[in-house]
Amino acid sequence: MTSHLMSPAERAQLALMLEVTAFPKPGNVDRCHDYPDTRLEHFLASVIFSRPSLEEAASGRGRIGEIIGHAVRQTNVHNGGNTHFGAFILLIPLLYGGDIEGAKRAVVRTDVSDAVAFYKAFALTRVRMNESDELDVNDPKTLDDLRNRNMTLYDVMEHSSPNDMVAREWVNGFLLTRRGADMLHQIGQGREAIVEMFLTLLATEPDTFIIKKHGRDVAERTMEKARDVLAGRRVLETFDAECIENGINPGSIADITIAALFIALGEGWAWDY
């Protein structure tokens, strides 16, 4: 099925599937690597289970925060833990708005109910937070803080954006999502383009999931190694093995890769060449 014949929800599912099966994608679960507690099958199952919330988002009705919550609950039914929370933060407004421009308009219309629903969903995941974050998802008082401060979900993303590149996409107009989609068009058709786009983003942007888990120095060294791969100074498979061995997972770049794939597919980029 060509991209223009797919429904938006199908296109989102395809983007989720293409990202996780791309190989070699340094440090992440893919067709050749599982984690001890999270396997490829868990990601693929979440792609299937998320369909109702993706369709709900594409309808342009309801609240974005609630729909993210629905997606988390629909996919929180296996033993693999969180698989796509960051991806849902990006995909759902993109589906809701129809494209990047529509998503930019949609996210600024979120309200405090969206923020509360989002934090309730966040509490169901095991996503790592910065220890210094005052809006701690594990603190029951956080929901009251959101209400008392009348923080919208856009406000929450703006608050988180200095330390979270997925949240930053909401604030900067999905800048890296657009850049990734443009790269796919430039590189060309087929699955190899996904790995090159992923590597290029990793070589130029410090992955904030790596920073939260290992610190900025590790994130910056990972960027340098990605640059070495692109320049032919390092073997991609060796880099991949080093990341897996050391638990270095560029999870935020993976989320942005999914969003970029969704946009590029809608613009005619072909995956099956």
Return all residues near 232 (Cβ < 8 A) that are at least 6 apart. Answer: none
Q: What does the alpha-carbon distance between residue 71 and residue 55 come to, in Å, rounded to a whole number?
A: 10
Residue 47 half-sphere exposure, CB side, CA atoms within 13 Å?
A: 18
Q: Determine the pLDDT at residue 25.
A: 92
pLDDT above 90 (res 273): no
Strand partners, 30: 33
CB-based contact 260:1 (threshold 8 Å):
no
Q: How much is the pTM? A: 0.94
Q: What are phi and psi of 33, to 5 degrees?
A: -135, 130
Provide DSSP, 174-204. Answer: SHHHHHHHHHHHHH-SSTHHHHHHHHHHHHH
User: How many Cβ atoms sit within 10 Å of the Cβ of residue 247?
Assistant: 12
pLDDT above 80 (res 72): yes
Helix (H) or strand (E) holding 98: none
% of residues, the chain, pLDDT over 90: 82
**Helix, coil or strand: residue 80:** coil
Q: Determine the pLDDT at residue 166.
A: 97
Tokens of 235: 């073997």
CB-based contact 47:89 (threshold 8 Å):
no
Specify the range with the lowest mean pLDDT, choosing from 31-40, 153-162, 193-202, 229-238. 31-40
Q: Determine the pLDDT at residue 146.
A: 92
Tokens of 218: 């590790």
CA angle 168, 170, 174 (to 5 degrees): 90
Q: What does the alpha-carbon distance between residue 139 and residue 133 come to, in Å, rounded to a whole number?
A: 11
Q: Determine the pLDDT at residue 131.
A: 53
Q: Determine the pLDDT at residue 105.
A: 98
pLDDT above 70 (res 4): no
